[in-house]
Chains A and B, each alone.
Chain A
Amino acid sequence: MSEFLTLFKYELKKQFPAFFKRDKKHLAGFLFSSIFTLVIIGLCVFLMSIITKNYVLVKVDKVLDSSTRAYELLNLYYVFILIAMIFICLEKMRKSFVDKTDRKIFLRLPIKQQTLFIAKLIVLLISTYLIALLFIIPTNIIVYLAVKPSWVFWLKTFVVFLLLPIVVLLFASLFIVPYIKLIDFLKNKYIFMFILLTVIFIATFFLYSMILGIIQNYLETGLIRFLFNDDFIYAMDLLLLITYPANCFAGITMGKNLLISYLVVVLCVILSCVVVYYITKKLYNITLYKNESAIVYKKVSKVKEHSVFATLIKKEFISVFREPKHMFSYFVIATAMPVMVYCCYTLFESLILNMIGVRFSFELALLVILVFSVLTNTFCSTNISREGKTLLKQKTMPIQVEKLLGAKIVFCSMVSISAVVLSSLILIIVTSLNILSGLLCMFVGIMFSLSQIFIATKIDLKNVKIISSSVEVEKQENRTVTKVVTLGIVLSLIVGIGDILLGMLSKGLFEMSFPICFVYLIPIFISAVYLILAIVYYRKNLQQALERVNK
């Protein structure tokens, strides 16, 4: 039993590292990400509650049947929940059962494979339930508030909460093999992966902002009452017939077609128990006993001479581009930044225009560009820590500190400036932003981005902690993300929102008037001062800061 408990705790620590780190810096990061997640959930809940409230009041043939409408809508929500959870569980399953470090533990220590497997399976189940909690509870609260059914609704919600994760695991285990094959296929096709990730990310964001725009439009015009017409209801009814097992879960919750719903769900659960156990066990056996494939990535490069600075920049590029996690955090986000800026700009511009009837093109463009450049440059706060042990190696090389860190700054600046320039150009070309305003936004955005890069790199250098153990486990802890993002977001909001207020004053929206040139000059002045301070901070005791980096 103690063997099981040890392995169970080990697995829990691996799956939920944030819960086991006790120092305050980790707590800050954990709180930040938790708040961010809660804000996203809150936003979704807000949108869903508007839709639900309006939808349950729709009359079909002049008859109000809130319970049936709630059943239809809940079916749709459960479809989304199932799809989202299957994707999350696929990745969790892959990480859990295709983990090569287990091979080392299993081969070196006298541990029963079955014990390790069961510990993993239970942790997977726990994490699936936790995810389900995040999805099901807010959804059902929304429906409850809209329809106000009896207390039995919560009892049924509990039943759904108990059964839905098991069914999710069934689907996840059915798709796990093709998913692993796909991941293996993509593993070292870096350019293809970059294009694919960028396209998916941009498409998702575009779709998201499009839906947001439509909802905003419907809310502003009051057309939302007419959106849910007869055709819409028929489409929802049709969806109810085919969306197994989501419709069964909706049926259980709302007390519709109870017999069939319970029958299908119970069958799914029984099937799940067998299939999940069989497939994960098989998968784990393969992980533990198969020979590791050695051929990973092959590139016929030439023996070619470069300057020290150029080779350091090339190294930076390789280390980011060939690591999918880093590639997504930096290149994909930076490439998608112009689209994100455009979507947010158009959305907010029309919102403000409808609210107060005045256009704030420059001020709004500035705010959006600054906020997104901060988010894009978040990655720079790992400039030093992601190097890990190789940073210590570079300390032994004849490289001046200015070159070593300068290469990182130049590399990040190249990515960041390109993103800001492209974002500004898109706003100039596609929106009502004039050329001069666009160029000024670009100028301020570049200065702001550079400041963020300098500050992020220096803070990371001062806080870096390099940990390594004998089993080549390297952990690069990033303690600076929270600091850098908070600083950047606060400053960009002050500059951006402050400039909108200045714009309001200059456009005579308040009694006090203000010369319009200040709307342009003040952000330029603030960002120039910020850049100068950032460079001074970066350069101060740079050599000593690098020398202090230790294990």
Chain B
Amino acid sequence: MELLQVKNLYKKYNAKVDYAIKDISLYGNSGEIIGLLGHNGAGKSTTIKSIVGMHPYEEGQISICNFDLKTQPIEAKKHFGYVSDEFDLFEKMTGLEYINFMADIYKVSEKDRKKQIDKFEKIFALGDALYREISSYSHGMKQKISIMGALIHNPKVFILDEPMTGLDPNIANQLKKFFIKHSKKGNLVLFSSHNLDIVESLCHRAYIINHGILLKEIDLEKFRKKGKSLEKYFLNITKKASKV
């Protein structure tokens, strides 16, 4: 089942400058983990920020769980959870207040949110920190609470922008396990990353973006079977594209 569809997406930050992304089309199915690859400034974050409704886009169509982002934004937004590359948390709230806020926004019942908090508590082990102001959290803790907030309504589509940046190996490992678990339940996980190893080991498919253009869609399961190196392929294809 197709949970995410992006068709011919164009985005400009300023009328005077060129498009930040041009003609991006991608899709995501139920049960998949998808990676967005690219150099710094390639357009990964712009693509993700457009998908989640943070940035308005000039042309194209985005639909999440068959709800169009432009015409049915509220319905579309109900079906995804988003973790930003920057910590855009309410720093003056305690961790639990933030989780409660997110649960209220996504209209999660008291019973369900308690269940979800217990579940995440076991995975991320925030413990007493839940009762502390977010401003006192470390980088990893902020990432954990951000993920907990994004997943409180158990979204069908889970979108993350550079989720592994700055995380210690232990937390990164927990997160990877969680991606697999979440996708196995029939959900879609889409994330951007610089880390080719993580994308190669974790994702079913990957999209390579270069200078705002979608260069290639890669079936990583086939890639793994053939024993190809994603790193070599990525460097090769981006080098060729840059020459062109």
Binding site for B on A (CB under 8 A): 188, 294-301, 303-308, 310-311, 314-315, 318-319, 322-323, 388-390, 392-393, 395-400, 468, 472, 547-548, 550
**Taking the nearest CB of chain A, how far is it from the CB of B201, in angstroms?**
27
Q: Are A472 and B104 closer than 8 Å at their CB atoms?
A: no
Please tell me which one of the listed residues A307, A318, A400, A547 contacts residue B56 in the complex, with CB atoms under 8 A apart: A547
Q: Are B86 and A548 closer than 8 Å at their CB atoms?
A: no
Alpha-carbon distance between A207 and B238 when the two chains are bound, in angstroms: 71
Closest to B149 in A: A393
Please tell me which one of the listed residues A301, A311, A314, A468 contacts residue B96 in the complex, with CB atoms under 8 A apart: A301
Q: Are A305 and B110 closer than 8 Å at their CB atoms?
A: yes
Within 8 A of A (CB), among B29-88: 52-56, 73-75, 77-78, 82, 84, 86-88
Alpha-carbon distance between A188 and B131 when the two chains are bound, in angstroms: 13
Contacts of A294 in B (CB 8 A): 132, 136, 138
Alpha-carbon distance between A299 and B131 when the two chains are bound, in angstroms: 5
Please tell me which one of the listed residues B84, B92, B103, B136 contacts residue A318 in the complex, with CB atoms under 8 A apart: B92
Known: A303-B100, A318-B93. A395 touches B53 (CB 8 A): yes
**Taking the nearest CB of chain A, how far is it from the CB of B164, in angstroms?**
16
Contacts of A300 in B (CB 8 A): 131
Alpha-carbon distance between A311 and B92 when the two chains are bound, in angstroms: 15
Contacts of B114 in A (CB 8 A): 303
Q: Are A295 and B55 closer than 8 Å at their CB atoms?
A: no
Beyond the given pairs A319-B90, A398-B74, A399-B74, 13 more chain A to chain B contacts, judged by CB atoms under 8 angstroms and listed by A's residue number, are A298-B131, A303-B110, A303-B113, A304-B100, A305-B109, A318-B90, A318-B97, A322-B92, A389-B84, A389-B87, A396-B52, A396-B54, A398-B73
User: Could you jot down 17 A-B contacts, CB within 8 Å?
Assistant: A301-B97, A303-B117, A304-B100, A310-B104, A311-B104, A311-B105, A314-B101, A318-B90, A319-B90, A388-B88, A390-B90, A392-B84, A392-B88, A396-B53, A398-B77, A398-B78, A472-B86
Contacts of B84 in A (CB 8 A): 389, 392-393
Alpha-carbon distance between A56 and B78 when the two chains are bound, in angstroms: 76
| Interface residue B133 (Cβ < 8 Å from any Cβ of A) | yes
Please tell me which one of the listed residues A297, A305, A400 contacts residue B94 in the complex, with CB atoms under 8 A apart: A297
Contacts of B104 in A (CB 8 A): 305-308, 310-311
Alpha-carbon distance between A398 and B81 when the two chains are bound, in angstroms: 10
**Taking the nearest CB of chain A, how far is it from the CB of B87, in angstroms?**
7
- In the A-B complex, the 3 residue pairs with the smallest Cβ-Cβ separation, listed nearest first, are A311-B104, A296-B136, A398-B77
Please tell me which one of the listed residues A308, A311, A396 contacts residue B77 in the complex, with CB atoms under 8 A apart: A396
Binding site for A on B (CB under 8 A): 13, 52-56, 73-75, 77-78, 82, 84, 86-90, 92-94, 96-97, 99-101, 103-107, 109-110, 113-114, 117, 131-133, 135-136, 138
Q: Are B131 and A311 closer than 8 Å at their CB atoms?
A: no
Closest to B89 in A: A390
Alpha-carbon distance between A70 and B88 when the two chains are bound, in angstroms: 58
Contacts of A397 in B (CB 8 A): 77, 105-106
Q: Are A297 and B100 closer than 8 Å at their CB atoms?
A: no
Q: Are A398 and B105 closer than 8 Å at their CB atoms?
A: yes
**Taking the nearest CB of chain A, how far is it from the CB of B25, in angstroms?**
21
Please tell me which one of the listed residues B78, B89, B136 contacts residue A297 in the complex, with CB atoms under 8 A apart: B136
**Taking the nearest CB of chain B, how far is it from the CB of A256, in angstroms?**
54
Alpha-carbon distance between A294 and B75 when the two chains are bound, in angstroms: 39
**Taking the nearest CB of chain A, how far is it from the CB of B148, in angstroms?**
13
Known: A311-B101, A395-B54. A390 touches B88 (CB 8 A): yes
**Taking the nearest CB of chain A, how far is it from the CB of B110, in angstroms?**
5
**Taking the nearest CB of chain A, how far is it from the CB of B126, in angstroms?**
13
Closest to B135 in A: A296
Closest to B51 in A: A396
Q: Are A299 and B74 closer than 8 Å at their CB atoms?
A: no
Q: Are A298 and B132 closer than 8 Å at their CB atoms?
A: yes
Q: Are B113 and A295 closer than 8 Å at their CB atoms?
A: no
Alpha-carbon distance between A526 and B93 when the two chains are bound, in angstroms: 41
Please tell me which one of the listed residues A310, A314, A389 contacts residue B86 in the complex, with CB atoms under 8 A apart: A389
**Taking the nearest CB of chain B, how far is it from the CB of A505, in angstroms?**
52
Please tell me which one of the listed residues A304, A388, A392, A399 contacts residue B105 in the complex, with CB atoms under 8 A apart: A399
**Taking the nearest CB of chain A, how far is it from the CB of B84, in angstroms?**
6
Alpha-carbon distance between A188 and B132 when the two chains are bound, in angstroms: 11
Contacts of A547 in B (CB 8 A): 56
Closest to A292 in B: B136
Interface centre among B13, B75, B84, B88 (most CB of A within 10 A): B88
Contacts of A548 in B (CB 8 A): 56
Known: A299-B94, A303-B96, A303-B113. A392 touches B133 (CB 8 A): no
Contacts of A308 in B (CB 8 A): 104-105, 107
